[in-house]
Amino acid sequence: MSQVVGHDYGFINAALYKIGQSAPHYARAFHDVSSGTNAAMEFDIYSQPVLIPGYNAGTGWDAVTGLGSPKSVNLAGELAQYWSPGQGNATINNTKSHPKNPNAPGHMAPH
């Protein structure tokens, strides 16, 4: 992506989801994968099949395919409309830190 536009975009998540909220921009930037599932058939210790339920793909964002697969050249043009250089810093500054709980996931106690 950076090679297409000639600079590093950096943190683009906010811009991607803004594109996803506009139907015409989304259609230009992504191939919407709207069918399928990530359910799986596994086998238990007795070699019996067990269906592991998953999520179904659907129109727009879904838990299986996210926003879909990018149409790279088109996505570069859409990002130019939705991205701003301070987005990464704004996102980091607005993110709440973990509580001061040594048992919280991702927390490391000082030595």
Q: Which residue has the higher pLDDT, 98 or 31?
A: 31
Query: What average pLDDT does the structure give for the chain?
Result: 82
Structural domain range at position 28: 2-85
Instruction: Let me know if residue 70 belongs to a domain.
Output: yes
Instruction: Let me know if residue 94 belongs to a domain.
Output: no
Instruction: Let me know if residue 92 belongs to a domain.
Output: no
How many whole angstroms separate alpha carbon 104 and alpha carbon 40? 31
**Is the pLDDT reported for residue 98 higher than 60?**
no
DSSP letter, residue 69: E
For 48-70, the pLDDT digits (tens) are 999 999 999 999 999 999 999 99
* Of 9-23, 47-61, 88-102, highest mean pLDDT: 47-61
What pTM value is reported for the model?
0.66
Instruction: Let me know if residue 98 belongs to a domain.
Output: no
Distance of CA 29 to the CA centre of its chain: 14
